[in-house]
Structure 1
Amino acid sequence: MDRSLYEKKNRFIDTVLNIFIQLSTFISVVLLIIIIGYICYRGIPYFSLDYLVNTTSILKNTIGILPNIVNTIYMIVVTLLIACPIGIGGAIYLNEYATNKKFVTMISFTTEVLAGIPSIIYGLFGMLFFGGVLKLDYSILTGALTLSIMILPIISRNAQIALQAVPKSYREAALGMGSTKWYMIRTVLLPSAIPGILTGVILAMGRIVAESAALLFTAGSLAVLPKNIFGHLFSSGGTLTIQLYLEMAKAHYDQAFVIALILIVIVLCLNFVAKWISRKFDVNKRG
């Protein structure tokens, strides 16, 4: 009579690997706690609401990061408006329309390569092409166009996975009732895949908020409040990460840690929202 898997003893190598995995997890959690704890320790004592709602002005003798917060919001909105249609549209084409498997494989490989390119190279490309060739100079639009290329792999890949997770029976039922393919995609496929797509978008937002190297070459570091909603897109605008870099360069460590604390809170909130959407998506899929 054959022994079941439950009756078999663990090999020594299995025990070692299990210990190694648990140790790696423990080290990762400890490092995260140390980093967040140290930032909170250095940033919380100097945090004030006035610093968030004021602008830095020598004449008024005030310091603040309100322009940087506004520029960060501008960067997020404009970048997503550019990248989401391209990324989600490309995912729909690759998953639903493309029939050449070699072409799909090539595009998937290219997307993975884009995800691995260092951000400083994106910044150099954006400065030379968008800023130089297209004459956009240092501007929020130049930074947004550069970041849109950076986050395309995140949005596109998550959208592909979300579309692939939709059961084939949904497609077959809609097409069997006489609907066109585009009508099926618009009314059946996309609504079912929205949670997974939104997860990718939120993760992309976290990448936008945390980016600094690429924006230093493309968006610049000017921190002024916008006078015109659309005109501000063509002016230089330093985000929170750029301001953090400048404060560190000036040895203003207290202000730098306050900005770091704000960035940590934003990124953690975005990741918690992404996890919540993923869990809700899994629950709905199981149900």
Structure 2
Amino acid sequence: MTFNDNARVGDNRARRRGRGAVIAGGGTVGVGAIVVLLLAVFTGGDFSSLLGGESSPQASDSGGSEIANCETGQDANARDDCRLASASLALDDFWSDAVPGYRPAQLVIVDVSTSSACGTASNATGPFYCPPEETVYVDPTFFSLLRSQYNATAGPLAQLYVLAHEYGHHVQGITGVFDQHPQNGTGPDSNGVRTELQADCFAGAWVAGMTEAVDENGTPFLQPPTDTEIRDALNAAAAVGDDHIQQESGGLVNPESWTHGSSEQRQGWFGVGYRDGETACDTFAVPGAQL
């Protein structure tokens, strides 16, 4: 995924919050810690106590600042924080066309940690969507940890798949999906799994249509994804499958404990959205065996 260098992205609504610092314990995180991070990627749960070491200071929630030096597509191609902030423009553009009455999500780029109505946001909790605030929280250092310590795919499109997944939850929130299909426990046929797979499908639909979003001058924000970039996004989806996480943590694969779906399911529903669009993403309408 590449932004067009001359695309204007400076009018994004993203804000930076938190305090810049290094992760507790230095710069080296073992495989066990990365498994904890993977476990939290889309849950919004705070597993930082499992990482050990001193907890990061919690920053004030007041205000926040703009993403500095994030004005063009060239800036977005150079830095993770600007890339995420810029992509929020294309996400809002896509969903404004697809969902009547859509209202943009707030995107917060986290420096180490900050508080939210859904708990602490940090690279230990992973990216998440907070429904009461209609806000997505992402600490870009999360992707660096995955790349350097786990050899996981965390290239540009894989990053935006993660962001698009969280924006998928925003769409679910404002369209009533959360209210219509409340949590009913765990398992391969649970509402939790169906909710996550639908967000994966929404992410795929956005990736397929993201090049249609244009800036104020009519310049497309993004170039079409390459086959390699699509494979990277699919690999990212597989990395956060419940079965893969259970295997990497040294445990048995137990479908009855699943909350997000298997690697195969997550890749599959991303593909459904990518091929057939967001209208094909009703994961609640199919039998469990077809998930």
Do the two structures share a fold, i.e. TM-score over 0.5? no
The higher-RCO structure (CA 8 Å, 6+ apart) is: 1
Return the structure number with greater helix share: 1
Return the structure number with greater strand share: 2
TM-score per shorter chain, which class? Answer: under 0.3
